Structure 1
């Protein structure tokens, strides 16, 4: 039996982690249906026929536990799969803000970790509930005289 090694640099997560708006001109935005997302790019479906030579802009709202993060990425299409009514596209993020990329990767990893740890309570007990509270870091404001 042969082992298949993962060639991707970042882990992928399903669409439940975020809401994404896409634009080709930063003026007209449309919500897209995401299949999966990673810190390196995303896979989505669209009824529109998109040009592969264009750059696209993605406004991503990521939901993590009790927090919400708004991130902006630029991307280019690297693959197109044609179906009957819609097309599936794969986009790779380019000109990436490393802070946003690291933050997105950490959110996805934490979602994957939490989903692996979540197990249903035994049926003969009342159940035990576990909550993960991850504090948000607030920026410090330095007052200059």
Structure 2
């Protein structure tokens, strides 16, 4: 079943990601329009299948959208590799929303927001602060 889900996810991204007024991405059950600065990357050899979009905000800071199967515990990973981890969990429509703040080994802030269904997660991650409008844009587009 996992292989089928991975193949379906990959096909869905290949068929629906295209340039328009941004990058349109199909995340079941919703479509998202990402900033046109976003570039897709996929590592099919990695142990955990995901599709990553690397983007820049208006201040030229990098942030990432990571679409992945919901098969890893992101909170546990943060607690293992970071300090001062704070996690807020809430329900947003059909998604479980995880808002995580932490500090990396260099004591720099890390911020992540994950929107998860049973099968799939969208992680919004940055080693720096990203514009609040980026998270607001995702929230306004999710209908599921």
Same fold (TM over 0.5): no
> Larger helix proportion, structure 1 or 2?
2
Taking structure 1 as the reference length, the TM-score comes to 0.31
Of structures 1 and 2, the larger Rg is shown by: 1
Taking structure 2 as the reference length, the TM-score comes to 0.31
> Larger strand proportion, structure 1 or 2?
2
